[in-house]
Amino acid sequence: MTAAIIQALTSHWRSHWLQLATLLIGIALATGLWSAVQAINAEARASYARANAQLALGQFDELRDPSGAIPLTHYADLRRAGWQVAAVLEGPYRIQGRTLRVLGVDMVAYPALPAITEAEAETDPADILTAPGRLLASAELATLLQAQADLPPVLITTELPPDVILTDIGVAETLLDAPGQISRLVVLPNQPRSVPPLSEIAPDLERISPASQVDTAQLTDSFHLNLTAFGMLSFAVGLFIVNGTVGLAFAQRRGMIRTLRALGVSMRRLVWLILAELTLLALIGGIIGLILGFFLAGALLPDVAATLRGLYGAPVTGQLTLQPAWALAGLGMALGGTLIASAQALWRLSRMPLLAGPSVQAWRGSGQGQRLAAYCGLALLVFGGLAYTTVGGLLGGFALLAGLLTGAALLLPLCLSIALNLCARRARGPVTQWVWADMRAQLPGLSLALMALLLALAANIGVGTMVSSFRLTFVGWLDQRLTSELYLTAESDQQGREITQWLEPQVTAILPIRNVELAHETGPLFLYGVVDDPTYRQYWPLIARTDDSWDQVMSGDAVLINEQLARRADLWPGDVLRLGPNHQLPVAGVYSDYGNPTGQAIVSMMQLDLIAPGQEARRFGIRLDPNRATELAQTLRERFGLAPQAVVQQAAMKAQSRAIFEKTFVVTSALNVLTLGVAGFAILTSLLTLWTQRLPQIAPVWALGLDRAQLARLELSRSAILAAMTACLALPLGLILAWVLLAVINVEAFGWRLPMYVFPWDWLVLFLLTLVAALAAAALPALRLLRLPPADLLRVFANER
Amino acid sequence: MLLSIEHVHKTYPGGRPVLQDVSLSLDHGQTLALTGESGSGKSTLLNLSAALDHFDAGEITLDGIALSGLDDSGRAGLRRKHVSLVFQQFNLIPSLTVAQNLSFHARLAGCHDPDWEAHLADRLGLSDLLSRFPERVSGGQQQRVAIGRAMAVRPKLLLADEPTGNLDETASAAVLDLMLSLVTESGTALLLVTHSQDIAGQLDRRVHLAGGRIQ
């Protein structure tokens, strides 16, 4: 009996293969886009975890000096007193324009690292410790390092993150030009019982537990959250296709179900078999989606990795590995999504009376359903607003976004219906009148696809506005921040002094760039010292300030902080910033600092020397007549033997910054386009699945004297008009979305607020793209209509149906 | 002669002949019943006469216009201006109200006459239903709307395919009476396809089709 029922049920798909393909594509697209984002996130997080494990980060307490480097004497004192600590010196190291991270550890005392264990198995451990030492790096990095003549020999290891050089602390001192310096001390387990307390030996050091150490995963959380939100939006848009197709398939099978029940099959058995059928389809679609997602993630991951490395210094490899858990989660999403999208249709089918007619019209919804959806939409809008005002934070921001988008989507059919009603009332000619009325009648069947289009367009406008606003602000900000005509990095402190002396008589100003990394309760804090120069007073982008901000800073009485630190620590002009045990200064102003995840502060050079004496002076900004910049850069390179990248012109610096900026949004743009593509596909599938229901509407009009070419043109116009109306409604929604992203999500996630700009030209382009997508989606049904043999239209009138 | 059908052949895909050498004619104001068993080809002949379908051989001339020489747009124009159709399934436009359906064809044909349409609505008993949508009125009422829509054009030829086939006996008689009286009143020729010998008996002439041939 079951076999016979299955045969009857599956016969539907044999005669509706396009519907089956649509359903599978819907599931595959939803799963594919979601899984791609998840694969990228999982790979990035796995990279962070791998890096933490490989470098033994976040496992032990650490000792840090809030004012900068730890003096060697403290290390010696602690060891002498019996403290089991391992010294670490770390810092950035640039080779051929690429920034690497050098991690110098005390090879004897530091916890056993997998990379060292691997290296010791292949080489004599003494080689690593004795001069010239060894550098441990990944195979890809090793190739780069081996090409440098002045570096120690390189050992290849599989146990290190990309862009990390692990070496003995002595070698690191040379590489980083930081003799006698220690960045932090790792407190090893199994300390002797009676060691003197830290406050007696080194009172200026702070002990930080693993829980309060800010790690990469925390820093990048908001980035991944944004990606996840986009993945979820794509998933939802894909499910609209599934919902529409399953709904129609079930409606078309009502006659068959009625017959099966009349022949003695229980509804319970039918529901179970349909559930099994849906499960099978979900798994097939899910597997296709996983394959799609894997390749999509593989294509996007290198850009994401570059973004994460650029923005956060996060160690992410650009290669994707297939994780069984990811595949299982993807299949789970496909199954869950399909069942959720089919739940309403299945429920309606299960409650269908035995003698109910096989009408397909029931599937198309009703005015009552439209009103109910609108009420739900309003409720969701209110929910989003309440969640934001009561919960607040990033979670509240995302709840606001979710409520706004889903609420607006549910309100769309009612809004369109009202608009179509108004148009129908103004229509004069019979054909126009019919077109408007027919569009309204078609609306329930198309509403899901139009909702998907609304979401995709709103996301496009919202994210587009955010990115373009960001770009405009960023470019303006770059102009303010990168005011020097040349940026120079000397090879040493001594060379820096020589260059300064040589330059002084020939340029307008030399602006040293010196900084020290401090520890702050909100995370790392980079303290910069500046000299008193009109450049800063004229151009530095202050967003909050006191009347005499710069005077206070230059006289050593105040500090300027970046927006990130201001928002995280809630410090604004007049508040006090603690820079170390003995240093605190009032905040005189806050400046914008886009793209920087960490806190930053500016004091006068004199203050910097007081807080962290002996900071090297290797980097400078040079002000001069812009026309002389190229010539002077070349002279500097030749005279002081500097590498080409050691002297960078302002334009090149800006171009580089803009390139990094654009790369940051490659993934967002790709997902944006894909979501719009899926929405376009949703319209196509809706039009195709509605096709069989269209004939009874079209045939009488054809019989009354409109030819097929006219009707085909009207089909195209209908699709374009509905898409255009949806696009018009998506515009305000997209702008609200942009405002939420700029004023709420960005502030919560990244710590800076951006001004919002509008870009009408972009809207026009998007509007035209939407029309093209809608016309493309309607082209196939219109072409079908154009080529439809009259015999097919005549079947509508046939008596023997 | 209003409608002239000469030696028309029609074969469906697969080679099954539906009409074989069929010839008949219909003059202005004349009524003709086309009877026959299911599958005898009567609906096909009606569709060919309405320029809804193509024939393989022979010729059909409507008011002097040869259908074989018309392209898709010419055929649409002919249907719009010279012919009206009434189907068994009513085939109203569900998204338009009764009033809009009633005037729809006339407006397409550019001969919209509100007074005439009001008269038709009155005659057909539809005056109270004008603002309703088709799904909100009975089958008999829907067929009366279809007849009204057809007659609103003041057509030269009305083609009706089993117009009462979906109605009960009482509604069927009422609808047929109305249609015949309107046709007579306006001098419209009628070609009506029916199974019923009673209905056929009420028309001027009767032609019986069997196996695609006129008996």
The reply to whether A645 falls in a domain is no
Domain span at A500? 486-624
> What are the start-end ranges of the H helices in B133-211?
139-151, 169-186, 197-201
Terminal CA-CA length for chain B: 22
What number is the average pLDDT over the span A511-528?
Answer: 81
What number is the average pLDDT over the span A95-111?
Answer: 74
Please state which of the ranges A165-169, A215-219, A337-341, A684-688 shows the lowest mean pLDDT.
A215-219
**Residue B7 neighbours by CB distance under 10 Å:** 12
User: From the list B85, B95, B96, which residue is nearest A703 (CB)?
Assistant: B85
CA angle B160–B163–B169, rounded 5-degree value: 150
The pLDDT value recorded for residue A689 is 66
What letter would DSSP give residue A745?
Answer: I
Question: How far B87 CA sits from the closest chain A CA (Å)?
Answer: 6
A391 and A437 co-located in one domain: yes
Which residues of A sit within 8 Å Cβ distance of B? Answer: 429-431, 433-434, 437-438, 440-441, 696-697, 699-710, 790-791, 793-794, 796-801
Cβ–Cβ below 8 Å for B91 and A430: no
Cβ–Cβ below 8 Å for B79 and A705: yes
The pLDDT value recorded for residue A363 is 44
User: From the list B12, B76, B89, which residue is nearest A705 (CB)?
Assistant: B76
The pLDDT value recorded for residue B108 is 82
The pLDDT value recorded for residue A125 is 66
Question: How far A273 CA sits from the closest chain B CA (Å)?
Answer: 35
Q: CA torsion A503→A506→A507→A508, rounded to 10°?
A: 130
Which residues of chain A lie closer than 8 angstroms to B39, CB-CB? Answer: 800
Structure tokens at A652: 């090149």
Which residues of chain A lie closer than 8 angstroms to B109, CB-CB? Answer: 705
Please state which of the ranges A10-14, A31-35, A79-83, A300-304 shows the lowest mean pLDDT.
A300-304
Question: How far A440 CA sits from the closest chain B CA (Å)?
Answer: 8
Which residues of chain A lie closer than 8 angstroms to B19, CB-CB? Answer: none
β-strands A154-156, A135-137 pairing: parallel
Which residues of chain A lie closer than 8 angstroms to B72, CB-CB? Answer: 707-709
Residue percentage of chain A with pLDDT more than 70: 87
Rounded-to-integer distance, Cα A448 and Cα A413, Å: 9
Domain boundary among A212, A235, A257: A212
The pLDDT value recorded for residue B152 is 92
Cβ–Cβ below 8 Å for A703 and B52: yes
Domain of B112, CATH number, reads 3.40.50.300
Q: What are phi and psi of A570, to 5 degrees?
A: 50, 50
Domain boundary among A212, A243, A276: A212
CA distance to A134, A141, A149, A151, per residue, from A146 (Å): 11, 9, 7, 8
Structure tokens at A161: 């993150």
pLDDT grade, residue A799 (50/70/90)? very low
How many structural domains compose chain B? Answer: 1
The reply to whether A629 falls in a domain is no
A442 and A314 co-located in one domain: no
User: Which residue shows structure tokens 């944004």?
Assistant: A226
Residue of A nearest to B159 (CA): A703
The reply to whether A447 falls in a domain is yes
DSSP string, A168-220: EHHHHHHHHT-TTEESEEEE-SS--TTPPPHHHH-TT-EEE-GGGS--HHHHH
Handedness of CA B7, B10, B11, B16 (dihedral sign): negative
The pLDDT value recorded for residue B28 is 93
The single-letter code of the amino acid at A476 is: G
In this model, does residue A361 exceed pLDDT 60?
no
Per the prediction, chain A carries an average pLDDT of 81
Query: Which residues, including other chains, have CB under 8 Å from residue B74's CB and lie 6 or more apart?
Result: none
Structure tokens at A79: 């060891």
Q: CA torsion B51→B57→B61→B66, rounded to 10°?
A: 80
Cβ–Cβ below 8 Å for A707 and B72: yes
Structure tokens at A752: 């800076």
Domain span at B174? 3-214
The reply to whether A189 falls in a domain is yes
Rounded-to-integer distance, Cα A157 and Cα A172, Å: 18
Residue of A nearest to B106 (CA): A430
Cβ–Cβ below 8 Å for A437 and B50: no
Q: Does B105 touch chain A (CB under 8 A)?
A: yes
Q: Does B161 touch chain A (CB under 8 A)?
A: yes
Which residues of chain A lie closer than 8 angstroms to B165, CB-CB? Answer: 799
Cβ–Cβ below 8 Å for A440 and B87: no
Residue B190's beta-bridge partner residues? B31, B158
DSSP string, A499-520: HHHHHTTTSSEEEEEEEEEEEE
Residue B191's beta-bridge partner residues? B32, B159
Cβ–Cβ below 8 Å for B107 and A791: no
Cβ–Cβ below 8 Å for B50 and A703: yes
Which residues of chain B lie closer than 8 angstroms to A706, CB-CB? Answer: 76, 80, 108
Question: How far B113 CA sits from the closest chain A CA (Å)?
Answer: 13
Q: Does B110 touch chain A (CB under 8 A)?
A: no
User: Which residue shows structure tokens 């047929």?
Assistant: B176
The reply to whether A649 falls in a domain is no
The pLDDT value recorded for residue B61 is 94
With contact defined as beta carbons under 8 Å apart, do B129 and B100 qualify?
no
A503 and A471 co-located in one domain: no
User: From the list B72, B77, B93, which residue is nearest A434 (CB)?
Assistant: B93
Rounded-to-integer distance, Cα A607 and Cα A338, Å: 63
A341 and A406 co-located in one domain: no
pLDDT grade, residue A211 (50/70/90)? low
A557 and A688 co-located in one domain: no
How many structural domains compose chain A? Answer: 4
The reply to whether A702 falls in a domain is yes
**Residue A192 neighbours by CB distance under 10 Å:** 9
Helix (H, G, I), strand (E, B) or coil at B60: strand
Residue B32's beta-bridge partner residues? B191, B205
Estimate to the nearest angstrom the gap between the alpha carbon of A464 and the chain centroid. Answer: 13
Query: Which residues, including other chains, have CB under 8 Å from residue A354's CB and lie 6 or more apart?
Result: A258, A261, A262
Structure tokens at A117: 């264990």
**Residue A625 neighbours by CB distance under 10 Å:** 10
The H or E element containing residue A606 is: helix A605-611
Question: How far B125 CA sits from the closest chain A CA (Å)?
Answer: 23
Rounded-to-integer distance, Cα A617 and Cα A720, Å: 63
Buried b (16+ CB within 10 A) or exposed e, B153-165: bebbbbbbbbbbb
User: From the list B12, B93, B161, which residue is nearest A700 (CB)?
Assistant: B93
Q: Does B132 touch chain A (CB under 8 A)?
A: no
Structure tokens at A196: 């003197």
Domain boundary among A608, A624, A640: A624
Cβ–Cβ below 8 Å for A704 and B103: no
Of A100-114, A166-180, A703-717, which has the strongest mean pLDDT?
Answer: A703-717
A229 and A123 co-located in one domain: no
Q: Does B131 touch chain A (CB under 8 A)?
A: no
Residue of A nearest to B96 (CA): A437
Top residue of B48, B52, B82, B153 to mutate, by most chain A CBs within 10 Å, is B52
Cβ–Cβ below 8 Å for B93 and A707: no
A251 and A295 co-located in one domain: yes
Region for A368 from its dihedrals, namely left if φ exceeds 0, alpha if ψ lies in -120 to 50, beta otherwise: alpha
Q: Does B34 touch chain A (CB under 8 A)?
A: no
User: From the list A441, A708, A796, which residue is nearest B95 (CB)?
Assistant: A441
Top residue of A360, A714, A787, A799 to mutate, by most chain B CBs within 10 Å, is A799
Which residues of chain B lie closer than 8 angstroms to A704, CB-CB? Answer: 79-80, 85, 104-105, 108
Residue of A nearest to B164 (CA): A799
A95 and A192 co-located in one domain: yes
Question: How far B145 CA sits from the closest chain A CA (Å)?
Answer: 13
Rounded-to-integer distance, Cα A754 and Cα A260, Å: 62
Question: How far A268 CA sits from the closest chain B CA (Å)?
Answer: 33
Edge-to-edge strand ranges of the sheet holding B31-36: B83-86, B157-161, B189-194, B31-36, B205-210, B213-214
A50 and A79 co-located in one domain: no
**Residue A628 neighbours by CB distance under 10 Å:** 14
> What are the start-end ranges of the H helices in A351-507?
367-390, 393-426, 430-481, 493-503
Which residues of chain B lie closer than 8 angstroms to A800, CB-CB? Answer: 38-39
Rounded-to-integer distance, Cα B215 and Cα B213, Å: 6
Please state which of the ranges A30-44, A178-192, A534-548 shows the lowest mean pLDDT.
A178-192
Of A279-283, A356-360, A475-479, A638-642, which has the strongest mean pLDDT?
Answer: A279-283
In this model, does residue A246 exceed pLDDT 70?
yes
A795 and A684 co-located in one domain: yes
A573 and A609 co-located in one domain: yes
With contact defined as beta carbons under 8 Å apart, do A545 and A589 qualify?
yes
Structure tokens at B166: 């979906």
Residue of A nearest to B88 (CA): A799
Which residues of chain A lie closer than 8 angstroms to B75, CB-CB? Answer: 707
What number is the average pLDDT over the span A47-70?
Answer: 70
The reply to whether A537 falls in a domain is yes
Q: Does B116 touch chain A (CB under 8 A)?
A: no
Structure tokens at B10: 């029609």
A306 and A439 co-located in one domain: no
Cite the beta strand spans of A499-613 per DSSP E: 509-520, 523-530, 542-545, 559-562, 576-580, 583-591, 599-604
Please state which of the ranges A129-143, A388-402, A726-740 shows the lowest mean pLDDT.
A129-143
What letter would DSSP give residue A795?
Answer: G
Q: Does B119 touch chain A (CB under 8 A)?
A: no
Cβ–Cβ below 8 Å for B108 and A430: yes
The reply to whether A194 falls in a domain is yes
The pLDDT value recorded for residue A225 is 67
Cβ–Cβ below 8 Å for B80 and A705: yes
Cis peptide before A132 (omega within 30 of 0): yes
ipTM of this complex prediction, to 2 decimal places: 0.75
Residue of A680, A454, A439 whose CA lies nearest to B93: A439
Per-residue pLDDT of A425-467, as tens digits, reads 888 888 898 899 888 888 887 888 888 889 888 888 888 888 8
Report mean pLDDT in 10-residue bins for chain B, 215 residues. Answer: 93 86 93 90 90 91 91 85 85 84 86 91 91 87 90 92 83 86 91 90 92 88
